[in-house]
Amino acid sequence: MSAWYYERGPESDVVISSRVRLARNLKDYPFPHRMSRQQEAEVVGIVRDSILNNSKSGMEFTFINMNEISPLDRQAMVEKHLISPEMTESGSFRGLLLSSDEKVSIMINEEDHLRIQCLYPGLNLAEAWQLCNSMDDLLEQKVEYAFDERYGYLTCCPTNAGTGIRASVMLHLPALIMTGYIKNVLEVCAKIGIAVRGLYGEHSEATGNMFQLSNQVTMGQSEQDIVESITGIATQVIEQERMLRKELYRQNPIKIEDTIYRSLGVFSNARIISSEESLKLLSDIRLGVEMGIIKDITIEKLNEIMLKIQPANLQKVCNRQLTPEERDVQRAELIRKLLTT
């Protein structure tokens, strides 16, 4: 099993991951927030069986009843970007189909009946889309989707109707931030209908200089066009970020190295460290690795650390509930352990 965050993908010096998700609903059921418990159970059952009893996927899936796992386990999955925060809410019958490599997660009874998500390391929306598409085809052989000839796939929120696709890339943009040029990127994105969000989606800040670019419109364009358009924009942003990194380094190499190594020094020596400070320092260290300044740490190691030091995953590693104060101590300990293994 090799989860997305243990692998290095294309353009990994700037791109953390690529994600494609499709929103789908079953024709014969009301949207999730209007379903009865009985209907919820039926939808979960239908989707689960369509995948679990389907050898054509070529992948191994596990079914998880979201109500049967602890809030901590749910939160840990959010932190790994395997499910959306909505999936952690109790009250409804929600299910998850997760592939063994954690690249495919099919959320059942999220905002829509189905959210098919594929997550790849680096810039790889094309492959993520291809896999999403084949999972979608597989499901469509077993279930009937709510589909309208004029509007396309129908979704709970009209902004998702049409193709039902959201293609997003997570970018690490420290040089754009340092130089202030991120403002221009944000302006351009706003003009051409690209949403920019932080590390943890819709309402999150750009923690650790991480930015998620995704399409806002899902109608009037083919999935292929949307994927290509986001890839195109991302490629331009990547080039700008790379150019600025080179320029910053050319102007004052020691200054950049100083910033990077000071952060590494604090990160690898602190005994108490918050999640927020960790992500800030990780950004500097990642920049150092991405620029080839730090040579004995890999991007994969940084991804592993980034995920494992999040509150829920940290508690899972420690195998017990931790107060926020305890977390800050355990986080520092885990960082030192992970950096030396």
By the criterion CB under 8 A, which residues form the site for a copy of itself?
254-255, 257-258, 261-262, 264-272, 329, 332
Decide: 290 and 325 in contact? Cβ < 8 Å.
no
**Beta carbon of residue 259, minimum distance to a copy of itself (angstroms, whole number):** 8
The per-residue b/e assignment along 203-242, b for 16 or more CB within 10 angstroms, e otherwise, is eeebbbbbbbbbbeebeebebeebbbbbbebbeebbebbb
We find the least distance from the C-beta atom of residue 271 to a copy of itself, in angstroms, to be 4
Name the minimum Å distance from CB 314 to a copy of itself.
Answer: 16
Question: Which C-beta is closer to a copy of itself: that of 147 or that of 261?
Answer: 261
Token pair 């901590």 is at which residue? Answer: 72
- CB closer to a copy of itself, 101 vs 257: 257
Which residue, 217 or 318, has its beta carbon nearer to a copy of itself? 318
Q: How far is CA 334 from CA 16, 46, 269, in A?
A: 22, 41, 11
Which residues have a Cβ under 8 Å from the Cβ of 115 and sit 6 or more positions away?
A: 21, 22, 23, 24, 84, 106, 107
Number of C-alpha atoms within 13 angstroms, CB side, residue 201? 13
Phi-psi region of 52 (alpha: psi -120 to 50; beta: other; left: phi over 0): alpha
Q: Shortest Cβ distance from residue 331 to a copy of itself (Å)?
A: 12
Residue placing its CB nearer to a copy of itself in the complex, 142 or 337: 337
Residue 229 CB, shortest distance to a copy of itself, in Å, is: 41
Contact yes or no for 132/166 (Cβ under 8 A):
no
Minimum distance from residue 273 beta carbon to a copy of itself (Å): 8
Give the whole-angstrom CA distance, residue 191 versus residue 132. 28
> Which of 291, 289, 161, 300 lies closest to 221 in space, CA to CA?
161
* In the complex, least distance from residue 265 CB atom to a copy of itself, rounded to whole angstroms: 3
Q: Is 218 helix (H, G, I), strand (E, B) or coil?
A: coil
Q: Whole-angstrom Cα distance, residue 288 to residue 284?
A: 6
DSSP H or E run through 21:
strand 15-24
Decide whether 81 or 331 has the Cβ nearer to a copy of itself.
Answer: 331
